[in-house]
Amino acid sequence: MLHIITDSSSEIMPWEAEELGVKVIPLTIVFGEEAYLDGVEMEKDEFYRRLIGGEFPHTAQPSPAQFQEAFRASDGEETLVLLISSALSGTADAARLAAKEFPNVYVFETACTTCMLRYLVEAAAANRQRPLAEVVALLEDLRPRIRLHAFVDTLEYLCRGGRVRRATAFLGDLMKIKPIVGVSADGRVVMTGRAHGQKRAIKEIAERFTADMVCPDYPVYFLQTNSDVPARALMDACKCTHERVFRINCAVGAHIGPNAAGIVYVVK
């Protein structure tokens, strides 16, 4: 049976990981000289409290040794590793380095994060009885159909993490716009639009969602950071009432900041 390993950016909660039979390796959140394992030593409530309080955290990837420990636990059985995009973190590179000693391990380039990654983990877990090559082919078909649209309050956090240029962040803040962002096919955070105010940002994202041919075989996920107010407003605008809302994990939240919201879904 296929072993599946992911990281804490996938929004897979501990009880879900146990239910899915998935190993979740935590990323690390660093506030000053204090380091915490995402979702293990640092919970989301505490993280966003400190973020809103003015602290600027940064993140650190797991070490190759952490991955080696997880790979040994698979006892030589085929192992599929689904991690945050290589364009956003060195986590997958650390896993590939560790995997050189384990021929049974395959590190798939997901080019995504948060609930985008969650879709891939769920799909792999649901098909773990199939050969690895078939599961990889399924994921290669699914990944290009996943959409993420989100707005952030400011580009400052993405800029500090090196995800966008300083000039772009400065211009956005100067014009008081709400940047609309997504994740490109190669796994980078890209600005896909801009809106003057949160209401306009919500309206634009809802229009993109309703214009797409959403695949009913997959749930629609909504994202929020510190507050559920913008996420609920986005849900109403998209006319979705029974979908799941996720508070974005600490590792991703460190790079997008507070007062952000978004939607993730799969198209036909």
**What DSSP line would sit under 201-248, residue for residue?**
HHHHHHHHHHHS-B-TTS--EEEESS-SHHHHHHHHHTT--S-EEEEP
What tens digit of pLDDT does each residue of 211-232 get?
999 999 999 999 999 988 999 9
Closest residue by Cα to residue 163 from 142, 176, 147, 179: 179
| Neighbouring C-beta atoms of residue 211, cutoff 10 Å | 8
Closest residue by Cα to residue 34 from 17, 16, 46, 19: 46
Domains of the chain listed by start with CATH number: 3-27+60-144 (3.40.50.10440), 145-266 (3.30.1180.10)
> What integer is the mean pLDDT of 136-152?
97
pLDDT at position 47 is 93
Structure tokens at 164: 């966008």
Query: How far is 83 from 106, CA to CA, in rounded Å?
Result: 11
What tens digit of pLDDT does each residue of 85-115 get?
999 999 999 999 999 999 999 999 999 999 9
Per-position DSSP letters for 127-188, written without gaps between them? TTTS-HHHHHHHHHHHGGGEEEEEE-S-SHHHHHTTSS-HHHHHHHHHTT-EEEEEE-TTS-
pLDDT surpasses 90 at 68: yes
Non-local (6+) Cβ contacts of 22 within 8 A are 4, 5, 6, 12, 16, 121, 125
What pTM does this model have?
0.92
pLDDT at position 257 is 85
pLDDT surpasses 50 at 196: yes
Query: How far is 10 from 250, CA to CA, in rounded Å?
Result: 11
H or E segment to which residue 48 belongs: helix 44-52
> What integer is the mean pLDDT of 194-212?
93
Closest residue by Cα to residue 16 from 28, 27, 4, 24: 24
Query: How far is 169 from 252, CA to CA, in rounded Å?
Result: 18
First to last CA, the chain: 29
pLDDT surpasses 70 at 153: yes
Query: How far is 31 from 184, CA to CA, in rounded Å?
Result: 29
Weakest mean pLDDT among 50-59, 75-84, 208-217, 229-238? 50-59
Closest residue by Cα to residue 11 from 208, 267, 201, 262: 262
pLDDT at position 171 is 47
Structure tokens at 121: 């983990």
User: In which band, very low, low, confident or very high, does the pLDDT at 1 lie, cut at 50, 70 and 90?
Assistant: confident
- Dihedral pair phi/psi, residue 35, rounded to 5°: -115, 135
User: Are residues 190 and 229 in contact, defined by beta-carbon separation less than 8 angstroms?
Assistant: no
pLDDT at position 157 is 67
pLDDT surpasses 90 at 242: no
Give how far Cα 109 sits from Cα of 92, 140, 217, 222, 261, Å: 8, 9, 23, 23, 25
